[in-house]
Amino acid sequence: MTGPCADISFTGEDTMTHPTLSLEQLAGQRLMVGFDGIVFDSDLAYLIETLKVGGLILFRRNIGTPEEVRRLCQAAQAHAAACGQPPLLIGIDQEGGEVARLKEPFTEFSGQPAMKTEADVLHFARTCAAELRGVGINMNFSPVLDVAPLEIRSIMAGRSFGPDPMQVARMGETLIGCLQKNGVMAVAKHFPGIGRTCLDSHVDLPTLDASLDELEAFDLVPFRRAVAADVAGIMLSHIHYPQLDSRWPASLSPAIARTLLRDRCHYPGVVMTDDLDMGAIVRHFGFQKAIEQVLASDIDLALVCHRSEKIETAHGTLLSWLGASPEARRRGEVSVERILSLKRRYFQM
């Protein structure tokens, strides 16, 4: 192979199982990024070919007609394949209700609070999976597993399955199972739970001053069920839990991402941040420090949802860290292997 993709050696089932990845690929696979426009263009080609990103995130700014979405996703995947890259994770927030990027002519649902029975959940999941797969989207950032008490003005009241941890757990497990049975990766969010907060982390940094025992009895119940259901991914919240980590929010915390989620909850799958462009992060920690903490916490995927120079900054930081020592590279390879293992489950290679 010649040209800008010539250094890539990722070309088929055998190399998918036993890949030899460059540092640039190891860095890029840990980025899931947003972009502008509804067509495949030179900038999107650059993100895939030069930065070697592992995934893309679609927002309303990327959605045209179903055929336009299909062409966009197909072109992105074709370019990744032409460069010898692994298939792309292509994700979207399609919860229904308040958070749904796909509108008419796609089926519009009222959201999780309106799903009162498991039959409601199954209808949503089957329909959603069929429509997402039909246009080439393979990951849904759903379900919301935050438990929203009635006695407070929960930030998640309009997006949660409700105030009962066991009900949220049952409905979430059903949604995960149905999405994944129908070929769409589910992502449970927002670990370890933000239903008992009222401040929007898009704007600023909320705090939930709860003990581990309190979290175990309430907020963590649905996430433990999601782990048992083999959920494809778990998204960390931009919430500060001072009794678990005195300094860092969950999305940047070794104590939460590694000790709680990996070790205590025994989750072996892909762990990702929420969008690192959100106010909770940029107003309190800065983007560069956030990426450094993602690495320190062994978080697999960093989400950067707006197209800016931050994507290049993230890739450069990842690249420098991976090249700093054999131990850093080993840890990077372990994290990327979780991502590739997930891709092997969902893609024909």
Catalytic machinery residues:
202, 274
Please tell me the distance from the alpha carbon of residue 25 to that of residue 48, in angstroms, as a whole number: 10
Write the CA distances from 178 to 37, 57, 82, 171, 187, integer angstroms: 31, 22, 32, 11, 13
21-45 burial by CB neighbour count: b if 16+ within 10 A, else e? beebbbbbbbbbbbbeeeebeeebb
User: Closest Cα to residue 181, out of 125, 233, 263?
Assistant: 125
Please tell me the distance from the alpha carbon of residue 319 to that of residue 284, in angstroms, as a whole number: 24
Please tell me the distance from the alpha carbon of residue 275 to that of residue 258, in angstroms, as a whole number: 19
- Please report, in angstroms and rounded to a whole number, the separation of the first and last CA atoms in the chain: 19
- Collapsing DSSP to helix, strand or coil, 280 comes out as helix
Q: What share of the chain is helix, strand, coil (3-state, %, to 5)?
A: 45, 10, 45
User: Closest Cα to residue 307, out of 17, 41, 89?
Assistant: 41
Count of residues for the chain? 349
